[in-house]
Structure 1
Amino acid sequence: MFYQFYELNHAALAPFRAAADMMRLASANPLNPLSHTMLGRTLTASLEVFERTTRRYGKPEFGLHETAIDGKPVSVHEKIAWKKPFCNLIHFERSLPAGHGIDPRILIVAPISGHYATLLRGTVEALLPGADIYITDWIDARMVPMTEGTFDLEDYIDYVIEMLHHLGPDTHVVAVCQPSVPVLAAVAVMEAAGDPLVPASMTLMGGPIDTRINPTAVNQLAKDRPLEWFADNVIMNVPWPQPGFMRPVYPGFLQLSGFMSMNLDRHMIAHKDFFVHLVKNDGEPAEKHRDFYDEYLAVMDLTAEFYLQTVDQVFIKHALPKGELMHRGRPVDPSVIRNVALLTVEGENDDISGVGQTMAAQTICTGIPDHMRMHYLQPDVGHYGVFNGSRFRREIAPRILAFAREHARTGRPVVKRVIKGGKSA
């Protein structure tokens, strides 16, 4: 019933949010003399903070309509290239200038961890000038009717394989955080089957390949509790009148609560600073706060079967690094991967996937030749900085693009570019 109470609470607060928003607009109106006073700005700031902290944030837009290629702006069109009940594959189709070579085709696999794929907007934006980008746009589980069936970790692996088949040969796959495990498993399954459409390279970024290494608070939570505890305490049924009514899910608001509690003081300070900026009429920092939290507070539900299987196989049993992960009754053996280049990326201050957890893929993928593998540790960034922010744009994104070009398979006329600075390991 907790999910129902959560929905009831939102519904009960709706009139107050509407009233607060109406009063905010009135108090901020330039024609209102009060809006030019400290008292008026304080009132406006208080009303906005109340409205923003009690609203439900909808799915954000990618909003990437343009990129720069060879220093010139080109338009970008967002299209659905492939779809299933629990995922749409989004293609960012660029209007390439005449004579432009063929850029690497990159499939970005976004995490199913409570946030929408738009959390990787910065990742896509940084890679767009140098690559043909596709990204998994996972569907909020509460929006998927029960008639569409279930979705678990094995289905996730199947989805990745199907997308790689759809995109064809010489695709490069990039897994951000949680998908590192199913992406590595999918590639191993394809290699074991002699699939000719295995990706040319895979990049695993800040992923929990082996959470026994430098365990974080997230890993410790799974270690300290049996799987039954998660099933009894965090799995709930989607309430009416959502399309997924009665579907058992791990609600996104619970995941968000967990993430925020890990850095609660930082979020409280951020909201206090936001209030101060509003009172001082300091627009730019306030707008940055709005942009970040519009994305961060927009959450989606996960199917119960996917969540529980991930907790069990990845965080409790460590099935992949121990060689015990199964897919459709067959063992997943990373050592059979021989034709796919491997790049692993970690953040020095990552408090979600500790240093060494992603690099573990280099150890278990014993069949990949040395000249087809690379590891990069980015100094001075946490988990978010592994796939977003200035250091990602400056240091990590160029390496991903260079790695993809270096290991392109087909001899297509791939565009060559040079990256500068940084260290690799």
Structure 2
Amino acid sequence: MLYRAYQAQSDLMAPVKAYARLALGMLNGHADANPLLRNITAAYEMVERAGLTHDRPPYGVKSVPVGNADLEIVEEAALVTPFATLLHFRKDVATPQPRVLVIAPLSGHFATLLRSTVRTLLSDHDVYITDWHNARDVSLEDGRFGFDEYVAHVIRFLEHIGPGAHILAVCQPCVQALVAAAVMAEDDNPAQPASMTLMAGPIDTRIAPTKVNDLAREKPMSWFESNLIARVPWRYKGARRRVYPGFIQLSAFMAMNIDRHVKAHVDLFHNLAGGEVEKANQTKAFYDEYFAVLDLPAEFYLETVQWVFQDHQLPLGTLQYKGRTVNTKAIRKTALLTVEGERDDICAVGQTMAAHDLASSLKPFRKRHHLQAGVGHYGVFSGKKWENQVYPIVRNMILQND
């Protein structure tokens, strides 16, 4: 019912947006010198932009500087499953670079949210990413996708990349990355990662709980099941699959900072009407990404809420992977770097650093923690401080263990 209501509203808006798009085309080039027409075209553009998209935006990384040259980047699928693509950002370099698997969140947005993370890494590394698919486009015949399947994907992707690779996990999948490293270490898997960088992830949410953590804990699992899980409508390939819809996740994120989002759209209208193209384009680029949502498989969402945020199974030592208890003490070869943001209101200071206590068999010289001053959650892996202060530490950790 929930998904059908959303789809009906989206269908009703389609002709309105189509009219606005047509009007914009007719007015294009005629409004520049006329303040009244600029206001009208700005209003039409705001209407045309209203709503969400459910297709992955492009990464848009065409080339990167390596040494004294700009090298072309070619995106290629190294491995494809029904639920994800192991995407390789290939470039031709004379000297092989450290191979890095970026493990992206599966939390309502596409992996392109890490576009700037990838772009920064590419100058010095051979980069792959877990490019998760929209669950509404995955047939029921392809089976379930829960916590174990996520971890299995990480392991399978590392095995495909080959021994000696490094992993960098951002936010939610820090838990799955640590579990994958532990399972591979216990199995003495030759493809276990050489280093593991965990950035702003919920390893132990008992530490300094945030508003996000409180929201996950205050309701019983039956509430999440009844109120947040829907079935994909018949028109999509994944018809009848149970999902946590991306539009619900986006609504929750926006509700946390609604005043900021309202102000951003008011400013966007004024920038469009005032001809401030550069400012308008920056805002549009952000919301083009932010309003591109994907649906999560219900099993993965519900298991993550219960196992990570309610039961704290990983730090308590009770988490199981395919029926076996996860032993983080087995990690002895994979170097560990944790990164946190001083102002992170999603994953508080201390929650990611908890990984050091869990990986207790690692020698001290294989561990490092960095607390980045002056940044919130997104500033840990994007923006100037990521590029100039966090990234050099990440690069050095990878280089030291390559």
Give the TM-score of the pair, scaled to structure 2.
0.98
Decide whether the 8 Å contact of 1:17 with 1:54 is kept in 2: no
Task: State the AA in 2 paired with 1:69.
Answer: V
Task: Work out which of the residue numbers 90, 94, 97 in structure 2 matches 1:93.
Answer: 90
Report the secondary structure of 1:54's partner residue. coil
Q: Which runs of 5+ in 1 are unaligned?
A: 409-425
Q: Which residue of 1 aligns with 2:55?
A: 58
2:207 is matched with 213
**How many Å separate the matches in 2 of 1:345 and 1:125?**
19
Corresponding residue for 1:169?
A: 163
Residue in structure 1 matching 2:38, options 38, 41, 52:
41
Write the distance in 2 (CA, Å) between the matches of 1:204 and 1:133: 16
Distance in 2 separating the partners of 1:399 and 1:103: 17
How far apart in 2 are the matches of 1:57 and 1:112?
A: 14
Alignment partners' CA distance in 2, 1:270 and 1:197: 45
Question: Match of 2:71?
Answer: 74
Q: Is the 8 A contact 2:201 2:347 kept in 1?
A: yes
User: Which has the larger displacement, 189-198 or 78-87?
Assistant: 189-198
Q: Which amino acid aligns with 2:335?
A: A
| Kept in 2: contact 1:106–1:173 (CA 8 A) | yes
1:156 aligns with 2:156: no
CA contact (8 A) 2:52 2:291 kept: no
Q: How is 1:397-412 mapped onto 2 (pairs within 5 angstroms)?
A: 397-408=391-402
Distance 2:323 2:71 in 1: 47
Q: Deviations over 1:221-270 (max 9, x none)?
A: 11101111100100000012000000000000000000011111111111
Give the corresponding residue for 2:20: 20
- Residue correspondence of structure 1 range 247-262 to structure 2 within 5 A: 247-262=241-256
**1-side partners of 2:56 and 2:85: how far apart?**
14
Aligned: 1:225 with 2:232: no
What residue number does 1:194 align with?
Answer: 188
Q: Is the 8 A contact 1:116 1:300 kept in 2?
A: yes
SS in 2 for 1:355: coil
Q: Is the 8 A contact 2:150 2:176 kept in 1?
A: yes
Deviation at 1:357, TM superposition (A): 0.5
Distance verdict in 2 for CA 1:141–1:322, change over 3 Å: same
SS state at 1:281 partner: coil
Aligned-pair identity in percent equals: 45
Structure-2 residue corresponding to 1:4: 4
Kindly provide the amino acid, as one letter, of the partner of residue 64 in structure 2: T
Shift of 1:71: 2.6
Provide the rounded CA distance (Å) in 1 between the counterparts of 2:331 and 2:98: 21
How far is the alpha carbon of 1:25 from its aligned partner?
2.5
Distance in 2, Cα, partners of 1:134 & 1:92: 6
Corresponding residue number in structure 2 for 1:343: 337
| Aligned counterpart in structure 1 of residue 135 of structure 2, from 136, 141, 153 | 141
State the 1:55 CA deviation. 4.9
Cα distance, 1:406 vs. partner? 0.2
- Does residue 181 (structure 1) correspond to residue 178 (structure 2)? The answer is no
Whole-Å separation in 2 of the counterparts to 1:287 and 1:269:
16
Q: Distance in 2 between matches of 1:216 and 1:281?
A: 40
Identify the residue that residue 421 of structure 1 maps to in structure 2: none
Q: Any stretches of 5+ residues in structure 2 without a counterpart?
A: none
Aligned-pair CA distance for 1:192? 1.2
Counterpart for residue 121 of structure 1: 115
Q: CA deviation at 1:57?
A: 5.4
SS at 2:315's partner residue?
coil
Once residues 238 and 97 of structure 2 are traced to their aligned partners in structure 1, the CA distance between those partners, rounded to angstroms, is 39
- The two structures have a TM-score, normalised by structure 1, of 0.93
| Aligned: 1:132 with 2:132 | no
Q: What is the root-mean-square deviation in Å for CA atoms of aligned residues?
A: 1.0
Task: Specify which of 232, 241, 245 is matched with residue 238 of structure 1.
Answer: 232
Q: Partners of 1:407 and 1:54 in 2: how far apart?
A: 45
TM superposition shift of 1:185: 0.4
Report if aligned partners of 1:17, 1:55 keep a CA contact under 8 Å in 2: no
